[in-house]
Amino acid sequence: MMLVSTSLCCRCCGQKSIKLFTASILDRYQVGYFECTSCGYVQTDDPHWLNEAYADAINVSDTGILARNQANARIVLGVLTLLGIVNGTVVDCAGGYGILVRLLRDYGINALWSDQFCKNLLAKGFEFSGGSANLVTVFEAFEHFVDPGIELDKYLTIAPNVLFSTEIIATPAPDQGEWWYYGNEHGQHIGFFRTKTLERLAAERGKILITNGKNYHLITDRPVNQVVWNLLVKLNCLSPFFLARRLKSKIWSDHLLMLRSGK
């Protein structure tokens, strides 16, 4: 007879996590969901199904991929302005097909692509090959990580500022079937954060967390005005207009660079 776990060790802080419920993932695996009694992180059982879940790196239910990348590009512009690093380098980790990197370069940002699971289709020639940057972006990826702290440490070796998105889970945690972000149909989402979880991850690394309390978050050591941050997230459509005179699109220069490189 198989023993059913009623508690686990939290993958974010190492404290005890208590079982919330069991849900079906990929229509065939019965998986327990657990909530940390200390940091509030909600996680699945050991995600043994991930190789199957990542048969396609981008899941077919992600119909918002283009709209999300367009919004993300505008938010990156705002954050670069807020941090005073508009002319800096951005590395988009978990960069997918390269959509965000291409959009940022179109605006005039020196953006580079990185992703160990997905093929670079749209930003070829602009892969990150090591070194340092001013900002790392990690959109819709933290909920995929088995060990979020280890992944965050990797990003902080690249840049002192990490901008990312992940949906904050409500308190109390929604039951199975009550929250689309569990993503049971694709099985790629294995961990869900509360604000205090992210604050703890930042503080343990000598950083601060700036968040809209919903889905966009910045880990940094720079002082950031919370009111200005909230405005740039809400009014991200205005960012390109504010930066139009400060940036020059890389569309043509990238075209010439690729011709010379023969790629």
Domain 65-166+195-261 has CATH 3.40.50: yes
Give the model confidence (pLDDT) of 43-82 as tens digits. Answer: 999 999 999 998 876 777 788 889 999 999 999 999 999 9
Written in H, E and C, the secondary structure of the chain is CCCCCCEEECCCCCCEEEEEEEEEECCCEEEEEEEECCCCCEEECCCCCHHHHCCCCCCCCCCCHHHHHHHHHHHHHHHHHHHCCCCCEEEEECCCCCHHHHHHHHHCCEEEEECCCCCCCCCCCCECCCCCCCEEEEECCHHHCCCHHHHHHHHHHHCCCEEEECCECCCCCCCCCCCHHHCCCCCCCCEEECHHHHHHHHHCCCCEEEECCCCEEEEECCCCCHHHHHHHHHCHHHHHHHHCCCCCCCHHHHHHHHHHHCC
pTM (predicted TM-score): 0.93
Give the model confidence (pLDDT) of 131-180 as tens digits. Answer: 999 999 999 999 999 999 999 999 999 999 999 999 999 999 999 899 99
Q: What is the pLDDT of residue 263?
A: 62
Domain ranges of the chain: 65-166+195-261
